[in-house]
Chains A and B, each alone.
Chain A
Amino acid sequence: MGEIELPSNVSVTSASAINEFIKNSPLQKIVNWGRKNSLWFMTHPMGCCGIEQICVGVAHYDTDRFGIIPRCSPRQADVMMISGYVSKKYLPALQRVWDQMLEPRWILMMGECAISGGPWWESYSTVTHLDEIFPVDIYIPGCPPRPEALLQGFIELQKKIVAEQDRTVIPNPADGGE
């Protein structure tokens, strides 16, 4: 935000004060209720787990009833699923996609490869310990996990959001972004 000249007799409530007020009031529960019921996820298949990820988005599992909708752009999404092994070459691109997402945002780790490296644990080009790089909320084990498991992961994430135990960083507008 740029500098705005204010007359000396006018005082404004700062955005951070409003933010703090909402956080400590019951209003935050309503905000969280809205957030947990609109978990739009980014269609970002990274490996064979991506097949299951695409399956979750189709009509058979009807994720709309939980407010879970696939989106095709990181700028419209709230949830990123890391759904495959991440090579050293791919990590910068993944970080860039993550940086493009608007806060609040969450990460689901999907499948053994994302969680630990899976069969590529010892590989020369795989990045392991991804949870030290990204704030991961939910781990969904499986190789690959079934779509039902993925839905279960989303529901667990909703429970975490309601309980305010999720790891998302709610931005303070007064900080001007990062």
Chain B
Amino acid sequence: MGDEKIDKTIMIELSNTFKDAVSDVDVPSPNRAVARIDPGKVKEIMQFLLDNGFDHLSCVSGVDYPPDKMDVVYHVTSYSAPLVITLKASLPRDDPNIDSLCGIYWNANWYERETYELYGIKFNDCPYMKVLLLIEEMEGEWPLRKDYAGYPDLT
């Protein structure tokens, strides 16, 4: 199974290293670990995970919690260990922005652009913060927000 060191003890190390930034650590199964992180420390935390063998950013997505909160959800996994770490960062809904991970995980670029076009979450320092899959005219509509009203055919 590769590196024996990569297992869920990473969560203990993580919460010890970032005492103020990591909270609500939970390990619901041998393959899953969940934590909440401080959005201001996301780059340091991801760099720490990358240095400890979590070399695959699997997914960046968003969750809308009206009226005042919005989450960014990161799934980080490793090519050498069967563990998926889910990290959630809460942002204010009226001005959601968070640091980009493009300098740490190169593949974060498209994930962040898609999260941006669907939720309007801005990723600071992302090299090309434009819509990825939608038409350019739809930039600013944020179709996956709960209060989106632009559906064409309501039944």
Chain A residues in the interface with B (C-beta under 8 A)? 88-89, 117, 121-126, 128
Apart from the given pairs A88-B135, A121-B155, 11 other A-B contacts in the complex at a CB distance below 8 Å: A88-B134, A89-B134, A89-B135, A117-B153, A122-B151, A122-B152, A124-B138, A124-B150, A124-B152, A125-B143, A128-B153
With a CB–CB cut-off of 8 A, which chain B residues contact A126?
Answer: 152
Output the least CB separation between B151 and chain A (Å). Answer: 5
Residue from B134, B153, B154 within 8 A of A125 (CB atoms): B134
With a CB–CB cut-off of 8 A, which chain A residues contact B148?
Answer: 124
Tally of chain B residues near chain A (CB < 8 A)? 13
Residue from A88, A89, A121 within 8 A of B153 (CB atoms): A121
Q: Is the interface of A mostly helix, strand, loop or mixed?
A: loop
With a CB–CB cut-off of 8 A, which chain B residues contact A122?
Answer: 151-155
Output the least CB separation between A133 and chain B (Å). Answer: 14
**Can you list 14 contacts pairing A with B, beta carbon distance less than 8 Å?**
A88-B134, A88-B135, A89-B133, A89-B135, A121-B153, A122-B153, A122-B154, A122-B155, A123-B151, A123-B152, A124-B138, A124-B143, A125-B134, A128-B153
| A124 and B151 within 8 A (CB) | yes
CA distance A124 to B148 in the complex (A): 9
Q: Is the interface of B mostly helix, strand, loop or mixed?
A: loop
With a CB–CB cut-off of 8 A, which chain B residues contact A117?
Answer: 153
Q: Does B94 contact A (CB under 8 A)?
A: no
| A124 and B155 within 8 A (CB) | no
With a CB–CB cut-off of 8 A, which chain B residues contact A124?
Answer: 138, 141, 143, 148, 150-152
CA distance A125 to B151 in the complex (A): 8
With a CB–CB cut-off of 8 A, which chain B residues contact A89?
Answer: 133-135
With a CB–CB cut-off of 8 A, which chain A residues contact B143?
Answer: 124-125
| B155 and A88 within 8 A (CB) | no
Nearest neighbor of B154 in chain A, beta-carbon distance: A122
CA distance A51 to B25 in the complex (A): 46
Nearest neighbor of B148 in chain A, beta-carbon distance: A124
6 A-B pairs with the lowest CB-CB distances in the bound complex, closest first = A124-B143, A88-B135, A89-B135, A122-B151, A121-B153, A122-B153
Output the least CB separation between A113 and chain B (Å). Answer: 13
CA distance A128 to B141 in the complex (A): 19
With a CB–CB cut-off of 8 A, which chain A residues contact B151?
Answer: 122-124
With a CB–CB cut-off of 8 A, which chain A residues contact B155?
Answer: 121-122
With a CB–CB cut-off of 8 A, which chain A residues contact B135?
Answer: 88-89, 125
Output the least CB separation between A110 and chain B (Å). Answer: 20
Nearest neighbor of B144 in chain A, beta-carbon distance: A124
Output the least CB separation between A142 and chain B (Å). Answer: 21
Nearest neighbor of A124 in chain B, beta-carbon distance: B143
Output the least CB separation between A88 and chain B (Å). Answer: 5
CA distance A125 to B143 in the complex (A): 9
CA distance A6 to B141 in the complex (A): 60
CA distance A124 to B137 in the complex (A): 12
Nearest neighbor of B118 in chain A, beta-carbon distance: A124
